[in-house]
């Protein structure tokens, strides 16, 4: 894949959504009781990394090609408009103010309404509150058709299944997000 195809450096709101969600959820997970946490539509896997995290899998996808310098992983599950998400978020921190920063997020996206790359894009435009004219560059991620926008790439696996990778573009490169995406794929049967 040529670097010339990677000209867009749009800062999508996915970072805002993922960063805000991860920080809020991490904070709530530390400050609430178990009863309050279970009422949320989000769930956080905390404690020591699970065997799945150590093995590098998430929701039936292999995770390979992680960039150096990412922080501690946390897993989240949530749903929006009958589409389910499983994500792993790596964060560094806390900084001097106690804040955490999202380094990398990989997520699976599953739902019947995801029938092709175009419907995936339209869904994400609505979910991430993007401008309908969002500038995206077509890319191949492994053997899958995808769309790339600087710090984010999403790709269509098969009807009902897609994946997305976002990265902190201040610390990591276009190559890092695309290499990570190429290594985030369905497990072999």
**22-36, 43-57, 60-74, 153-167: which has the minimum mean pLDDT?**
22-36
Reduce the secondary structure of 134-168 to three states and give it as a string.
CCCEEEEECCEEEEECCCEEEEEEECCEEEEEEEC
Domain ranges of the chain: 3-46+57-186
φ and ψ of 70, to 5 deg: -85, 155
| Predicted local confidence at residue 4, as pLDDT | 36
Q: Which of 70, 74, 111, 107 is nearest to 89 (CA)?
A: 74
Longest dimension (CA), the chain: 51
For the stretch 67-77, pLDDT in tens is 999 999 999 99
CA dist., res. 38 & res. 125, Å (int): 29
CA dist., res. 127 & res. 145, Å (int): 20
For the stretch 142-169, pLDDT in tens is 999 999 998 999 999 999 999 999 999 9
Domain 3-46+57-186 carries which CATH code?
Answer: 3.40.1000
Q: Where are the alpha helices (DSSP H) in 62-154?
A: 117-127
Q: Please report which confidence band the pLDDT of residue 24 belongs to, taking 50, 70 and 90 as the band edges.
A: very low
CA dist., res. 140 & res. 148, Å (int): 9
Q: What is the mean pLDDT of residues 122-148?
A: 95
- E-strand ranges in 2-150 read 43-45, 57-58, 61-63, 72-80, 83-92, 101-110, 137-141, 144-148
φ and ψ of 12, to 5 deg: -65, 155
| Predicted local confidence at residue 188, as pLDDT | 86
Q: Please report which confidence band the pLDDT of residue 85 belongs to, taking 50, 70 and 90 as the band edges.
A: very high
pTM here?
0.72
pLDDT exceeds 80 at position 19: no
């Amino acid at each position: 894949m040529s670097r010339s195809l990677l000209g867009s450096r749009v800062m999508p709101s996915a970072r805002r959504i993922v960063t805000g969600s991860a920080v809020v959820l991490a904070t709530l997970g530390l400050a609430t009781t178990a009863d309050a946490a279970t009422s949320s539509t989000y769930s956080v896997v905390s404690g020591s990394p699970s065997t799945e995290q150590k093995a590098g899998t998430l929701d039936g996808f292999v995770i390979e090609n992680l960039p150096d310098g990412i922080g501690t992983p946390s897993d989240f599950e949530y749903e929006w408009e009958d589409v389910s998400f499983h994500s792993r978020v790596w964060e560094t921190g806390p900084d001097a103010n106690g804040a955490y920063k999202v380094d990398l997020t990989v997520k699976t996206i599953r739902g019947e309404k995801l029938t092709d790359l175009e419907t995936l894009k339209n869904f994400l435009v609505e979910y991430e509150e993007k401008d309908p004219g969002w500038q995206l560059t077509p890319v191949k991620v492994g053997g899958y058709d995808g769309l790339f926008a600087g710090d984010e790439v999403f790709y269509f696996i098969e009807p009902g299944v897609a994946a997305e990778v976002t990265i902190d573009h201040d610390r990591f490169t276009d190559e890092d997000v695309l290499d990570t995406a190429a290594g985030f794929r369905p497990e072999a049967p």
